[in-house]
Amino acid sequence: MARTLAFDSSAVVKNARSLFWAKGFEATSIPELEAATGLSRSSIYNTFGSKRGLFDAAVQSYLDEIVRPRLQPLTADHVESNALIEYLDGLNSVFSQPDALRQQAMDAC
Protein backbone atom coordinates (compact mmCIF):
# COMPACT_ATOMS: atom_id res chain seq x y z
CA MET A 1 0.00 0.00 0.00
CA ALA A 2 1.35 3.44 -0.96
CA ARG A 3 2.12 5.94 1.77
CA THR A 4 0.27 9.24 1.94
CA LEU A 5 2.43 12.27 1.26
CA ALA A 6 3.18 14.11 4.49
CA PHE A 7 3.86 17.42 2.75
CA ASP A 8 2.13 19.90 0.49
CA SER A 9 3.37 18.96 -2.98
CA SER A 10 2.17 22.27 -4.44
CA ALA A 11 4.17 24.27 -1.89
CA VAL A 12 7.25 22.12 -2.52
CA VAL A 13 7.00 22.71 -6.26
CA LYS A 14 6.52 26.46 -5.80
CA ASN A 15 9.52 26.71 -3.49
CA ALA A 16 11.62 24.75 -5.97
CA ARG A 17 10.32 26.96 -8.79
CA SER A 18 11.57 30.06 -6.95
CA LEU A 19 14.99 28.52 -6.52
CA PHE A 20 15.21 27.34 -10.14
CA TRP A 21 14.07 30.80 -11.27
CA ALA A 22 16.77 32.50 -9.22
CA LYS A 23 19.66 30.15 -10.01
CA GLY A 24 18.76 28.16 -13.11
CA PHE A 25 18.52 24.39 -13.40
CA GLU A 26 22.23 23.59 -13.67
CA ALA A 27 23.33 25.87 -10.82
CA THR A 28 20.68 24.58 -8.40
CA SER A 29 22.02 21.80 -6.21
CA ILE A 30 20.11 19.02 -4.47
CA PRO A 31 21.16 20.35 -1.02
CA GLU A 32 19.72 23.75 -1.99
CA LEU A 33 16.50 22.07 -3.10
CA GLU A 34 16.38 20.18 0.20
CA ALA A 35 16.71 23.46 2.09
CA ALA A 36 14.15 25.28 -0.08
CA THR A 37 11.55 22.52 -0.02
CA GLY A 38 12.10 21.04 3.42
CA LEU A 39 12.33 17.59 1.84
CA SER A 40 15.16 15.13 2.10
CA ARG A 41 17.01 13.98 -1.00
CA SER A 42 15.21 10.63 -0.84
CA SER A 43 11.79 12.32 -0.64
CA ILE A 44 12.62 14.48 -3.65
CA TYR A 45 13.68 11.44 -5.64
CA ASN A 46 10.79 9.27 -4.41
CA THR A 47 8.23 11.94 -5.25
CA PHE A 48 9.64 13.49 -8.44
CA GLY A 49 12.04 10.83 -9.68
CA SER A 50 14.96 13.22 -10.11
CA LYS A 51 16.04 16.83 -9.96
CA ARG A 52 14.80 17.07 -13.55
CA GLY A 53 11.42 15.67 -12.50
CA LEU A 54 11.10 18.39 -9.85
CA PHE A 55 12.16 21.00 -12.43
CA ASP A 56 9.53 19.69 -14.85
CA ALA A 57 6.90 19.98 -12.11
CA ALA A 58 8.07 23.55 -11.45
CA VAL A 59 7.79 24.45 -15.14
CA GLN A 60 4.33 22.88 -15.29
CA SER A 61 3.20 24.92 -12.29
CA TYR A 62 4.55 28.09 -13.93
CA LEU A 63 2.61 27.30 -17.10
CA ASP A 64 -0.57 26.56 -15.12
CA GLU A 65 -0.37 29.56 -12.78
CA ILE A 66 1.28 32.27 -14.88
CA VAL A 67 1.30 31.56 -18.61
CA ARG A 68 -2.07 29.91 -19.25
CA PRO A 69 -4.09 32.48 -17.28
CA ARG A 70 -2.49 35.21 -19.42
CA LEU A 71 -3.42 33.30 -22.58
CA GLN A 72 -6.97 32.45 -21.50
CA PRO A 73 -8.60 35.59 -22.95
CA LEU A 74 -7.07 34.66 -26.33
CA THR A 75 -8.30 31.07 -26.25
CA ALA A 76 -11.85 31.61 -24.99
CA ASP A 77 -14.83 30.66 -27.12
CA HIS A 78 -15.50 34.35 -27.64
CA VAL A 79 -12.36 36.45 -27.98
CA GLU A 80 -12.87 40.13 -27.30
CA SER A 81 -11.66 42.44 -30.07
CA ASN A 82 -9.07 44.06 -27.79
CA ALA A 83 -7.80 40.80 -26.23
CA LEU A 84 -4.61 40.63 -28.28
CA ILE A 85 -3.77 44.27 -27.64
CA GLU A 86 -4.30 43.79 -23.89
CA TYR A 87 -2.17 40.64 -23.95
CA LEU A 88 0.67 42.36 -25.79
CA ASP A 89 0.42 45.46 -23.59
CA GLY A 90 0.65 43.21 -20.53
CA LEU A 91 3.73 41.45 -21.94
CA ASN A 92 5.32 44.78 -22.81
CA SER A 93 4.71 46.02 -19.29
CA VAL A 94 6.17 42.92 -17.67
CA PHE A 95 9.18 42.57 -19.97
CA SER A 96 10.05 46.24 -19.79
CA GLN A 97 10.46 45.75 -16.03
CA PRO A 98 12.56 42.58 -15.48
CA ASP A 99 12.18 42.89 -11.71
CA ALA A 100 8.39 42.86 -12.13
CA LEU A 101 8.57 39.57 -14.06
CA ARG A 102 10.68 38.00 -11.32
CA GLN A 103 8.33 39.38 -8.65
CA GLN A 104 5.30 37.98 -10.49
CA ALA A 105 6.91 34.56 -10.51
CA MET A 106 7.72 34.86 -6.81
CA ASP A 107 4.23 36.13 -5.93
CA ALA A 108 2.74 33.07 -7.60
CA CYS A 109 4.74 30.98 -5.17
Say if residues 36 and 18 touch (Cβ distance below 8 Å). yes
- Residue spans of the chain under pLDDT 70: 1-5, 98-109
Per-residue model confidence (pLDDT) at position 2: 53
Residue 5 pLDDT: 63
**Confidence (pLDDT) at 97:** 79
Is the overall model pTM greater than 0.85, yes or no?
no
Alpha-carbon gap, residue 91 to 68, rounded angstroms: 13
C-alpha separations of 12 from 6, 40, 56, 87 in Å:
11, 12, 13, 30
- Say what the pLDDT of residue 91 is: 84
Find out if CATH 1.10.10.60 is the number for domain 9-107.
yes
pLDDT for residue 94: 77
- Predicted confidence at residue 100, as pLDDT, reads 59
